[in-house]
Amino acid sequence: MPVDKEFNVEDGADLINFARENIECFLKNNRKLVVPEEIKEKFGNIYGAFITLNLIKNNTPHLRGCIGYIEPSFPLYEVIHRVSISSAIEDPRFPSVSPEEMDNIIIELSILTPPKLIEVSNPNEYFEKIVIGRDGLIAEKGMKRGLLLPQVPLDHDRNWDVKTFLEHTCEKAWLPRDAWKDLNTKIYSFQAILFEEREPRGEIVRKFLS
């Protein structure tokens, strides 16, 4: 079943509430939440997923952490169990989230489709094959690999075109900005179904990018 057909808003709410409870349990008690049996039963299929934390300051969201698994390698509940805490304390770009900050953090969940190589004979073909608001990107060359989620070109008042998205994805992989022009650099695309809290601890909704 396609990823966008398998998950509804109730599912998104269950997973984000589980992620929040897990983060807050760890921050307050230094231990992970025990995964409820109903979560294991409902979300046992294998998916890649990311948890993104956005801290609200002056009514504006600021990225506070984002960690996930690209490849579908583990049951979804296990991925959320791991990356929810990792997003709060292991994102190398930020200090660990404090328990008090959670009152001002919006949690976003991205459930990913498996990445697919974008096959081109000329790098300019990427401009026709990549759709902003639909596709996330992975840049890979040798041992270097970086990912940006589909919402990144549009979130936080960005308005990236495909070229800018490719450049930032290459930078995320610690490659030169123009590495996408090199046919030895592999570019993969994937899609995501997105859920988020409207406000901290608030209603959970499906997020659409266009």
Average pLDDT over residues 14-18: 98
- Three-state DSSP state, 72: coil
Secondary structure class of 136 (helix, strand, coil): strand
For the segment 179-199, the average pLDDT, to the nearest whole number, is 96
Question: What pLDDT band is residue 2 in, cutting at 50, 70 and 90?
Answer: low
pLDDT over 90 for what percent of the chain?
Answer: 90
* Mean pLDDT (the chain, rounded): 94
Mean pLDDT of 57-80: 94
Q: Could you give the CA distance from residue 175 to residue 143 in angstroms, rounded to a whole number?
A: 11
- pTM summary value: 0.86
pLDDT at 210 (0 to 100): 60
Q: Which two tokens stand for residue 107?
A: 């949690």
- Which contacts qualify for 123-126: CB closer than 8 Å, 24 or more apart? 123/180, 123/181, 123/182, 123/183, 126/162, 126/166, 126/180, 126/187
For range 21-44, the mean pLDDT:
96
Q: Which residue has the higher pLDDT, 94 or 71?
A: 94
What domains lie within the chain, and their CATH numbers? 3-113+192-207 (3.30.700.20), 116-190 (3.30.1490.150)
Q: Which residue has the higher pLDDT, 125 or 209?
A: 125
Asked whether the beta carbons of 48 and 84 are under 8 A apart, the reply is: no
pLDDT at 1 > cutoff 70? no
Q: What integer is the mean pLDDT of 146-157?
A: 88
pLDDT at 3: 60
